[in-house]
Amino acid sequence: GAVVSQHPSRVICKSGTSVKIECRSLDFQATTMFWYRQFPKQSLMLMATSNEGSKATYEQGVEKDKFLINHASLTLSTLTVTSAHPEDSSFYICSATRGESVYTFGSGTRLTVV
């Protein structure tokens, strides 16, 4: 149990376009989802925390208008990178929890902006 599906796994987009990444909890209801980005050889950097039905809480330095997060249901959260630029190229990972000691990660999305 506790499976999180994230897609796409890889995406290449042109500079200035937007990309949507989906994160779904398949067999449990995720009360809270987290979005991270990770640069090569670095640890996870929390971008935002989202609770179903409410606005996401963004970490300091993360532009909420650039990284739009929607958590419309207990099983789905989306991250949209708007007007992407090459510096947004990174590995984006979602994690979901239902409030217990289980945090399940999606498989990650490798975004390359050209």
Cis peptide before 8 (omega within 30 of 0): yes
Tell me the C-alpha distance between 22 and 3, whole Å.
14
Cα distance between residue 38 and residue 75, in whole Å: 23
- Output 15 or 107, the one with its CB closest to other proteins: 107
Give the residue carrying structure tokens 């039905």.
53
Q: For residue 59, which amino acid is it?
A: E
Residue 32 makes contact with other proteins by CB under 8 A: yes
For residue 21, the minimal CB distance to other proteins (Å) is: 13
Minimum distance, C-beta of residue 71 to other proteins, in the bound complex (Å): 14
Tell me the per-residue interface mask from 36 to 75 with other proteins, x by CB under 8 A, - otherwise: -----xxxx-x--x--------------------------
Query: Torsions phi, psi of 88, nearest 5?
Result: -85, -10
Q: Which residues bind other proteins (CB under 8 A)?
A: 6, 32, 34, 41-44, 46, 49, 91, 93, 95, 97, 99, 101-108, 110
